[in-house]
A and B are shown apart, each in its own frame.
Chain A
Amino acid sequence: MAKDKLFGLIDINWRFDLTRFKIIRLLFKSRWFPLTIIIINLFLFVIILLAGLLGGFSPGNFNFAIMMVWILWWVLLMFVLVPVFSRVWCMMCPFPIFGDWFQRRRLLQVRKGKPGGLNKKWPKKLRNMWIMNIGFLITTFFSGFFTVRPLSTFILLGSIILLAFLLGIIFEKRSFCLYVCPVSGFQGLYSQFATSEIRVKDPAICKKHRPKTCYVGNEKGHGCPWLLTPFSFKKNTYCGMCLECFKTCPYDNMAFNIRPPGVDLLVKEKRGLDEAWKSFIMLGIAIVFFMTMQGPWSFLKDMVRISTWQGWLTFVSAHSLISLVLMPGIFFLFSYLSRLASRNKEIPVRDVFINFSYTLIPIGLGVWIAFSFGIILPNWSYILHILSDPFGWGWNLIGTAGFKWTPVWTHLMGYFQGATLIIFYLFSVVYGYRISKQTYPKTREAIRGWIPILCFLTLITLVFLWLYLG
């Protein structure tokens, strides 16, 4: 059988397991990893919270909390962490450490017996992305403050950490990360595009293995904190890369693979409306963020900053309408046209809508990477300032406090953004056609049904090209 090659170049089934290197295998099996990174990150977040609290309403560009979270972390997340390493941020995230500690009664070692806390099951109806979808959308209503006022960043991060701890006391394992954390949803969505994955090496070994230690845990590690079954991993969306399955597997049967980008988009399992809406919301937020933060329309900036309540309410309504209704509504129309064009009336429009919504993942990630160029290129030099003077107290720890504001390559930004959008659009196109073949049983139907979706993808890319370059 001929190999399925992406752009005719890369075999979709190609994998390279990094755990074949002994040093990586040992690292992943050690209980000190990723705990050490989490503890270092905890230190960083203590500084961030302190800088946010002390910074109050002072300007964000000289504040450690604002610069580290909204410039450095966000850009790293969009440029490297998610597209390359999937949900590696979740691996090192310090937010759930106190909840974990409370449940496990240990920081490092594995304790036998009943876990701490109430250990309740998360409600069945809420086992999806909807809370994260709405939570993240609501957070963006206050983007005019979170991204510029240190105190509001402190309140946001402080609330997330507190909520992670409280839910850790009430619900089992990482229910907070899985169903509530606003950062988790979009990472999960876009991690499907990532060039790495955690998977089983040989499914036959897992099939025979009893009990499933990756799920129930053993003396070497905890059962999957993300309530997943690592022995049957098929996509990255909900795997927080905590590496416990590497520790609990007695056969070293877990792999950390490098792979071609986006192969999870072809996994049919667990596709749903919640993930589809996450795509629309992320695209809607990207449009709104660009217009309010990087666009030339000053009246929009006033609305976001709550210059008047009427203006802010208009912004919130328009933002919600674009993200929750307009984007999905237009896409539904194109999905309907797709089914019409395919001439296959047996496939429900709902399936067409859900399946093709996964074509928005590459372009959505591309849009956010392009947006991030507009964050980092003009603002990177502030990072040097805040590293030397994290609390705005006139410190000069590494001698860079006096470094002047120095934007770089801003004259080339349009080219970077345009090239990014086109590259990721092409990924959407190549995966879109494959998804069409999954959706419609016959090739002719798939080709015909693909055309309206291709039109939508082209249209949305042109809209973003116009926004960023126009």
Chain B
Amino acid sequence: MKKIEIFLTIVVILITVGTVLGVYSFEKYRRSQLYDVELTARAPENGNWYPEKITVSYGETIKIYIRNIDTVSHGFALPDFEVAVNEIKAGTIEIIEFTADKKGTFPFMCTIWCSDRHLEMNGEIIVE
């Protein structure tokens, strides 16, 4: 096999496998710089908040990356730390930030009527 075919084989491998690995590595690095916790939002019947319980360390500044992977808008509120996002549209992302300056278990919830089971769309942040 001539050099040109070897070159093209490498190009195809880079384009297929390389692209997938490249995208994942870049995103992993980017996220590590961006936030501490990833939270996905879906209506309760489609999976609810994930994770529903988030544990963070006392005194730290926490960034939560909220992805709405649902087909309807959701909201986010963490009242004890006075943090809220009015609307996270379907398919979009919001990043919230707060300082975990008190210990205990604190509820967070969806603030938009997203489904018949909207009131079940709750989670907890545990500050230890």
Does B92 make an interface contact (CB < 8 A)? yes
A326 CA / B15 CA spacing, docked (Å): 46
Does A272 make an interface contact (CB < 8 A)? no
Of residues 89 through 113 on chain A, the ones whose CB sits less than 8 Å from some CB of chain B are 97, 106-109
The reply to whether A394 and B65 form a contact with Cβ atoms under 8 Å apart is yes
For A57, A391, A394, the residue with the greatest tally of chain B CB atoms inside 10 Å of its CB is A394
A108 CA / B2 CA spacing, docked (Å): 10
Tell me whether A39 and B69 are in contact in the complex, defined as CB-CB below 8 angstroms, given that A58-B91, A59-B91 are known contacts. no
Kindly supply a per-residue 1/0 record for chain B positions 87-125, scoring 1 wherever the CB is within 8 Å of any chain A CB and 0 otherwise.
000111101000000000000000000000000000000
The reply to whether B4 and A108 form a contact with Cβ atoms under 8 Å apart is yes
Kindly supply a per-residue 1/0 record for chain B positions 32-70, scoring 1 wherever the CB is within 8 Å of any chain A CB and 0 otherwise.
000000000000001000000000000000000101011
A392 CA / B5 CA spacing, docked (Å): 36
The reply to whether B69 and A50 form a contact with Cβ atoms under 8 Å apart is no
The reply to whether A59 and B71 form a contact with Cβ atoms under 8 Å apart is yes
Does A63 make an interface contact (CB < 8 A)? yes
Contacts from B to A (Cβ < 8 Å):
1-2, 4-5, 8-9, 11-12, 15-16, 19-20, 23, 27, 30, 46, 65, 67, 69-71, 90-93, 95
The reply to whether B93 and A394 form a contact with Cβ atoms under 8 Å apart is yes
Chain B residues whose C-beta falls within 8 Å of the C-beta of A394 in the assembled complex: 65, 67, 93, 95
A50 CA / B26 CA spacing, docked (Å): 14
Of residues 383 through 402 on chain A, the ones whose CB sits less than 8 Å from some CB of chain B are 391-395
Number of interface residues of A (CB under 8 A): 23
The reply to whether B2 and A109 form a contact with Cβ atoms under 8 Å apart is yes
Chain A residues whose C-beta falls within 8 Å of the C-beta of B1 in the assembled complex: 106
Of residues 366 through 421 on chain A, the ones whose CB sits less than 8 Å from some CB of chain B are 391-395
* A–B Cβ pairs within 8 angstroms, 12 of them: A39-B15, A43-B15, A46-B16, A57-B46, A58-B70, A59-B90, A59-B91, A61-B91, A62-B90, A63-B91, A106-B1, A393-B27
A-B contact count (CB 8 A): 66
Tell me whether A56 and B69 are in contact in the complex, defined as CB-CB below 8 angstroms, given that A42-B15, A46-B16, A50-B23 are known contacts. yes
Chain A residues whose C-beta falls within 8 Å of the C-beta of B27 in the assembled complex: 391, 393
Give the residue name and chain of the B residue nearest to A51 (CB). B23
Closest chain-A Cβ to B114's Cβ sits at a distance in Å of 13
Closest chain-B Cβ to A247's Cβ sits at a distance in Å of 16
Chain B residues whose C-beta falls within 8 Å of the C-beta of A62 in the assembled complex: 90-92
For B2, B19, B46, B95, the residue with the greatest tally of chain A CB atoms inside 10 Å of its CB is B19
| Given A50-B23, A395-B30, 4 more pairs with CB closer than 8 A | A46-B20, A392-B91, A394-B65, A394-B95
A158 CA / B125 CA spacing, docked (Å): 39
The reply to whether B8 and A108 form a contact with Cβ atoms under 8 Å apart is yes
A90 CA / B24 CA spacing, docked (Å): 30
The reply to whether A43 and B19 form a contact with Cβ atoms under 8 Å apart is yes
Chain B residues whose C-beta falls within 8 Å of the C-beta of A43 in the assembled complex: 15, 19
A61 CA / B92 CA spacing, docked (Å): 11
Chain A residues whose C-beta falls within 8 Å of the C-beta of B69 in the assembled complex: 56-58, 392
Does A47 make an interface contact (CB < 8 A)? yes
A-B pairs, 4 with minimum CB distance: A62-B91, A394-B93, A58-B69, A59-B90
Chain B residues whose C-beta falls within 8 Å of the C-beta of A106 in the assembled complex: 1, 5
Give the residue name and chain of the A residue nearest to B26 (CB). A395
Closest chain-A Cβ to B97's Cβ sits at a distance in Å of 14
A43 CA / B12 CA spacing, docked (Å): 9
The reply to whether A42 and B12 form a contact with Cβ atoms under 8 Å apart is yes
For B2, B5, B92, the residue with the greatest tally of chain A CB atoms inside 10 Å of its CB is B92
The reply to whether A58 and B20 form a contact with Cβ atoms under 8 Å apart is no
Chain A residues whose C-beta falls within 8 Å of the C-beta of B90 in the assembled complex: 58-59, 61-62
A393 CA / B69 CA spacing, docked (Å): 10
Chain B residues whose C-beta falls within 8 Å of the C-beta of A42 in the assembled complex: 12, 15-16
Q: Which one of B2, B12, B93 contacts A39 once the chains associate, using CB atoms below 8 Å?
A: B12
The reply to whether A392 and B12 form a contact with Cβ atoms under 8 Å apart is no
The reply to whether B92 and A108 form a contact with Cβ atoms under 8 Å apart is no
A411 CA / B96 CA spacing, docked (Å): 39
The reply to whether A393 and B93 form a contact with Cβ atoms under 8 Å apart is yes
Closest chain-B Cβ to A359's Cβ sits at a distance in Å of 42
Of residues 223 through 272 on chain A, the ones whose CB sits less than 8 Å from some CB of chain B are none
Chain B residues whose C-beta falls within 8 Å of the C-beta of A395 in the assembled complex: 30
Closest chain-B Cβ to A432's Cβ sits at a distance in Å of 45
Chain A residues whose C-beta falls within 8 Å of the C-beta of B65 in the assembled complex: 394
The reply to whether B20 and A107 form a contact with Cβ atoms under 8 Å apart is no
